[in-house]
Amino acid sequence: MLLPKKVKHRKWHKPRRNNKGVATRANTVAFGSFGLKSMDNAWVTSRQIESARRVLTRYVRRGGKIWIRIFPDRPVTTKGNEMPMGKGKGTPDHYVCTVKPGTVMFEMAGVSDDKAVEALVLAGHKLPLKAKVVKK
């Protein structure tokens, strides 16, 4: 799973969920010939990224090249079960990546067109947002 080696701050503030804005960077296919572009806002966890990556590599039978354009760097904290209110913020539990609409999350090259499209559609089912396949 992807997670940062070192972080400047262990715990981050929780952002306001106003769902404004579209991606201004990583919004075009830059490396491969096909990409998986998000259509929604979401927090994508490192487990979901790894799950999608495994689908891509298995479907193309380790052929071609795959790029992961997102990285989970935001820590999400949780408190234990049946904890009373108060007692401060919980400990970092997992890491997520904030994905805006228009972000290209995965890219592929070196495989046939129909295989790449099918693999990216399957990988999109593993993510908590709507995604579409885009071509360079």
Q: Which CATH class is domain 43-78+92-135?
A: alpha beta
Per residue in 52-64, pLDDT tens? 999 999 998 878 8
| Count of all residues that appear for the chain in the document | 136
pLDDT at residue 17 in the model: 74
SS3 for 3-28 is: CCCCCCCCCCCCCCCCCCCCCCCCCC
Torsion of CA 65, 129, 25, 113, to 10 degrees: 30
Distance CA(121)–CA(52), nearest Å, equals 10
The pLDDT tens digits for 62-91 are: 788 999 999 999 999 999 999 999 999 999
Domains of the chain by residue range: 43-78+92-135
pLDDT higher than 90, residue 15: no
pLDDT for residue 97: 94
Average pLDDT over every residue of 100-105: 96
Q: Quick: pLDDT tens for 20-52.
A: 889 999 999 999 999 999 999 999 999 999 999
Instruction: For residue 128, give both structure tokens.
Output: 């908590």
